[in-house]
Amino acid sequence: MEYPKIITKLPGPKATEIIERESRILSPGIGVKLFPLVPKRGFGALIEDVDGNIFIDFLAGAAAASTGYSHPKLVKAVQEQVALIQHSMIGYTHNERAIRVAEKLAKISPIKNPRIIFGMSGSDAVDMAIKVSKFSTRRPWILSFIGAYHGQTLGATSIAAFQSSQKRGFSPLMPNVIWLPYPNPYRNIWGIDGYEEPNELINRFLDYLENYVFSHLSPSDEVAALFAEPIQGDAGIVVPPENFFKEVQKVLNDLGILLVMDEVQTGIGRTGKWFASEWFSVEPDLIIFGKGVASGMGLSGVIGRKELMDLTSGAALLTPAANPVVSAAAEATLEIIEEENLLENALKVGNFIKKRLEEMKEVFEVIGDVRGKGLMIGVEIVKDRESKKPDPELTGKICWRAFELGLILPSYGMFQNVIRITPPLVITQEIAEKGLEIMERAIKDALAGKVERKVVTWH
């Protein structure tokens, strides 16, 4: 198959008509429309739109389409299950397929002998993790990080701190939340080069936690949990120092505070391990999962230490959660990841992508930082490397030009200047190389002033 293949001006006529219809009927609250893209079908790491244009996909539906599109095993499992029964509610009856999925998640989890509750999206799973944290500790305060994107339900919005616009008009939100600076090695509030001095960055954070937060904001014995993304996603693929969470967990354990890892985006093989927590040698008390576990088909949940998960009966009841069809999708997804060695593929192709990006960094002064694990990679675009000043305008134009050339390449980050690379885990090195060629051309065209538009991003 030829890829990419752009046969119309973008957006094409059919896409334009559908986009106009959507604007008349759907609330803008449903999402941030990164591209004027109307997918019709997909295959592997490629997407065809309604006008017949074929794109390489470096987004994977917000890192959710873990097994790509139309994987035969996934299609077969879902078709067979929906022909039998499409709904049985685990809140009232028993679903063997959901049990098998839970057993598999328990097996691959870094938490020993866990219990699991199911949800439908990362957002509601975050809300459930908040409930578990408060119920099990009987403590009122939650710690979270600046830059965290935890979702859009009320609880998730309350602890998130990605863009302030996401909270406008919704107050009062959940009280008793304290936000901490994330230890971004490239760009942090202390001005420390965390790549050269990782221990200094860690120590500065621990000092802040003890001497500012616990001394002046909340007593430590009233803090239930610290919620963290092991690698911050929407903030710009921010990877903390290797020993950060290990050192933080020592402090938390001494104080009886839970470590809750939000692995909605980083989990299920995205970083080359089942869960990104494994990169940092920690065993969280709770892990939140979602997105890729059912290849984007609407399953999420919380994996937790057994003694923490003894909730009141029905306290985590959600009608469609882990229904037979989505459980079939999850079971197939987990099997595909194992059978096709997609953890290894994420590492192999991810390392190839990062190597090529580092080569581009040598050529383009505007590439300030390249970071990530596996197939979760960020490229920070700056005015120049010395000042590190973010360049969201150039970032948006690079991504728009890539789209025109047939590559779905989103921009986001706390300052809208990070290019996000989170393709399906099934992507091949050949497709990745073609995508990187397009990205390189897009950078050249944007720098040459040949690009007039830019992509939409979070603001």
User: Is the per-residue pLDDT at 230 higher than 90?
Assistant: yes
Q: What share of the chain is helix, strand, coil (3-state, %, to 5)?
A: 40, 15, 40
CB 7: neighbour CB atoms within 10 A?
Answer: 9
Residue corresponding to tokens 């994330």: 182
**Per-residue pLDDT at 283 exceeds 90:** yes
Q: What is the pTM of this model?
A: 0.97
What is the amino acid identity at position 169? G
Neighbouring CB atoms inside 10 A of 14's CB total 15
pLDDT (tens digit, 9 = 90+) per residue, 107-126? 999 999 999 999 999 999 99
Q: What is the pLDDT of residue 38?
A: 98
* Domain coordinates in residue numbering, the chain: 11-60+340-446, 70-338
- Per-residue pLDDT reduced to its tens digit, 313-363: 999 999 999 999 999 999 999 999 999 999 999 999 999 999 999 999 999
Residue 291 CA to residue 377 CA, distance in Å, equals: 17
DSSP string, 255-266: HT-EEEEE-TTT
Where residue 413 falls (left for φ over 0; alpha for ψ -120 to 50; beta otherwise) is: left
β 114-119/54-57 pair status: unpaired
If one looks up domain 11-60+340-446 in CATH, what number appears?
3.90.1150.10
Does pLDDT of 459 surpass 80?
A: no
CATH topology (fold) of 70-338: Aspartate Aminotransferase; domain 2 (3.40.640)
Query: Residue 128's Cα: distance from chain center in Å?
Result: 18
Element of type H or E holding 250: helix 244-255
Instruction: Dig out the tokens for 350 from the structure.
Output: 């991810």
> How far apart are alpha carbons 339 and 74 in whole angstroms?
13
Residue whose structure tokens are 């592997």? 44
Quick one: pLDDT at residue 114?
98
